[in-house]
Amino acid sequence: MIIEDKRAVSIHYTLTNEQGETLDSSKGQDPLRYLHGASNIIPGLENALVGKSTGDKVSVSVQPEDGYGEINPEMIQIVPRQAFEGIDDIQPGMQFQASGPDGQTQVVTIKAVGEEGVTVDGNHPLAGQVLNFDVSIEEVRDATEEELAHGHVH
């Protein structure tokens, strides 16, 4: 069975950056399961898996526009230290949940802490990066009606 829309797919993967550093991997864990065509994974990876089947191995390099997007400078801001009231030790790399302009919760990463305030970045941590995936396709099957209705694999 080949990978196409409305198929439940299980993959093992290793994600590396352009320097070859491993950013994420499913090794030693259960495979990643997703519903193909439901935007459960980044578009560049999903598109590269179309037509593949169980047992196939795929290496794909995903450009930022097909991954987590380019870095949006408007999502990097300096906020007053008072916004972190109750947190004594604010360090670069820490992540917090904040309310976005549309009211949705978004994760922000601390980039710098200064006298004037705290620089936060609302971009996805992998935005602007070329992502290299080595993928092993473990299983491809028809999605159930329930999975299709919910938009993800159970």
Q: Which domains does the chain have, with CATH numbers?
A: 7-68+127-150 (3.10.50.40), 73-121 (2.40.10.330)
Whether residue 153 is predicted with pLDDT greater than 90 in this model: the reply is yes
What pLDDT, on a 0 to 100 scale, did the predictor assign at position 12? 98
The dihedral through the CA atoms of 80, 86, 87, 89 has a sign that is positive
Q: What is the pLDDT of residues 67-97, one digit of tens each?
A: 999 999 999 999 998 888 888 889 999 998 8
Q: Which pTM value belongs to this model?
A: 0.84
Q: CA–CA distance from 19 to each of 15, 24, 132 (Å)? A: 11, 14, 10
Looking at the chain, the number of H-run helices and the number of E-run strands are 2, 9
Q: CA-CA distance, 149 to 35, in Å (whole number)?
A: 11
Q: Tokens 């993967």 identify what position?
A: 13
Q: What is the pLDDT of residues 95-147, one digit of tens each?
A: 988 877 677 888 899 999 988 899 999 999 999 999 999 999 999 999 999 99
